Amino acid sequence: MAGGGRKIAVGLSGGVDSAVSLILLKKQGWKPVGVSLRLETWKNKCNRTRENACCTKESLGNARRVCRKLGVPHSIYDVRKEFRREVMDYFVSELAVGRTPNPCLVCNRRLKIKKLLGWAQMRGIRHVATGHYANISRGGLSRAADMKKDQTYGLCLLPKEWLSRLVLPLGALSKEQVYGIATENGLGFYRGVRQSQDLCFVSERAMKPFLFEKLGKHPGPILDEEGKRIGEHHGLFLYTIGQRKGLGLPFANFVKGFDVKRNALLVTRDRSHVLGKRFMAERFNWLSKPSAKSFRALAQIRTHQKGIPAKITKQGKNLLVECRDPIEGIAPGQICALYSGKICLGGGPIMKAA
């Protein structure tokens, strides 16, 4: 899509992907305006999110630096209050009731892209761009050329009507090509900047203290498949179905389920007991809706997971997903995205294994 001199608001996290998106849009004839969202982080000395937060002084400084170099206006939009409510509180509340949240997907819909679109609209700017690796064509969302970086899963909850306003300049590029463009345009320093790994508001090392502060410690027994107590946990919210690491047990075990009444964590040594082929999805967000009641698609329930061939059956407002191959750790709250080839049909939360 050529710009034709039109204004476009570009979400700038301070990372290389959004910076290169800005470069490409300017070369395509757009008049970009850089917008950085100031997000919240958990305020605690053990929470080291320097490389992962999208709103540190360093990342905001990088965004300003890029805009200054390219002669592009730059604004900072403070959405910390909304981020706490829509993302952090969602994350904690889902864990509190035994569900497995995906805050990044929810953030794209409820906060990041929503706020960018709102900021742009208030200024008479129709289009918004981000550094996501995905493509938009014919009003639909499709996978990026670089499948290792494809981020359509992270966008599957976006309302379909937003796609006509969204521009994704990196869909045809690989990560190495993005670094090359950055270097060619005087932004070679990005090769020394670490890529985000943890959640932006809390690091992996600080996760337990964060959750203990929010939910408290609730110790209880870890039970094997015979009901024998083999250990102790400090809160069911620390675990998800299929989890193997972090159980503190002498032998490899997998989280099989939760007994909420007894506050017990149920585990198994048999991996096959945490595999499943059937589950129900609810509140599905359709980006491209098949007309048939039953159809074939590829199902994906985690970031970068390979799509599993599945039969999908509409059951009222819900979907029954029957996978050809077993999937490990199907858990309520996880987001299931469906694909027809490279086209993302949409996504919705898993209700339960069926």
Q: In this predicted model, what pLDDT tens digit does every residue of 199-220 receive, in sequence order?
A: 889 988 899 999 999 999 999 9
Same domain for 30 and 79: yes
Same domain for 97 and 21: yes
User: Which of 54, 107, 156, 323 is an active site residue?
Assistant: 107
**In sequence order, what are the residues at sequence separation of 6 or more whose Cβ sits closer than 8 angstroms to the Cβ of residue 290?**
297, 312, 340, 345
CATH number at residue 110: 3.40.50.620
Same domain for 140 and 242: no
pTM exceeds 0.95: no
**In sequence order, what are the residues at sequence separation of 6 or more whose Cβ sits closer than 8 angstroms to the Cβ of residue 35?**
9, 10, 11, 12, 74, 75, 76, 77, 116, 119, 120
Q: For 54-58, 63-67, 138-142, 219-223, which range has the lowest pLDDT when averaged over its residues?
A: 54-58
Domain of 223, in residue numbers: 217-269
Whether the per-residue pLDDT at 52 is higher than 60: the answer is no
Whether the per-residue pLDDT at 147 is higher than 90: the answer is yes
Residue 285 lies in a domain: yes
Sign of CA dihedral 110, 113, 119, 123: negative
Can 104 be counted among the known catalytic residues? no
CATH number at residue 223: 2.30.30.280
Same domain for 183 and 48: yes
The pLDDT value recorded for residue 221 is 98
Residue 210 lies in a domain: no
Residue 108 lies in a domain: yes
Residue 199 lies in a domain: no
**In sequence order, what are the residues at sequence separation of 6 or more whose Cβ sits closer than 8 angstroms to the Cβ of residue 15?**
59, 62, 131, 190, 193, 195, 196
Q: For 90-94, 193-197, 313-317, which range has the lowest pLDDT when averaged over its residues?
A: 193-197
Whether the per-residue pLDDT at 128 is higher than 90: the answer is yes
Residue 205 lies in a domain: no
Q: What residue has token string 């059951």?
A: 315
Whether the per-residue pLDDT at 261 is higher than 70: the answer is yes
Domain final position from 192, 227, 251 = 192
Domain final position from 131, 158, 192 = 192
Can 107 be counted among the known catalytic residues? yes
Whether the per-residue pLDDT at 264 is higher than 50: the answer is yes
Same domain for 155 and 31: yes
Q: For 142-146, 178-182, 189-193, which range has the lowest pLDDT when averaged over its residues?
A: 189-193
Same domain for 44 and 175: yes
Same domain for 282 and 262: no
Domain final position from 269, 288, 313 = 269
The pLDDT value recorded for residue 139 is 85
Instruction: Output the average pLDDT for the chain.
Output: 93
Same domain for 173 and 68: yes
Residue 261 lies in a domain: yes
Same domain for 278 and 265: no
Same domain for 94 and 238: no
Average pLDDT over residues 128-154: 95
91: which 2 tokens? 């994350």
Whether the per-residue pLDDT at 51 is higher than 50: the answer is no
The confidence band for 54, taking pLDDT boundaries of 50, 70 and 90, is low
- Segment 273-284, tens digit of pLDDT: 999 999 999 999
CATH number at residue 286: 2.40.30.10
Same domain for 95 and 185: yes
How far apart (Å, rounded) are the C-alpha atoms in residues 112 and 217?
A: 32
Average pLDDT over residues 320-337: 96
User: Which of 55, 67, 104, 200 is an active site residue?
Assistant: 200
**In sequence order, what are the residues at sequence separation of 6 or more whose Cβ sits closer than 8 angstroms to the Cβ of residue 79?**
37, 38, 39, 111, 115
21: which 2 tokens? 């998106």
Residue 207 lies in a domain: no
The pLDDT value recorded for residue 317 is 87
Count of domains in the chain? Answer: 3
Same domain for 132 and 49: yes
Residue 204 lies in a domain: no
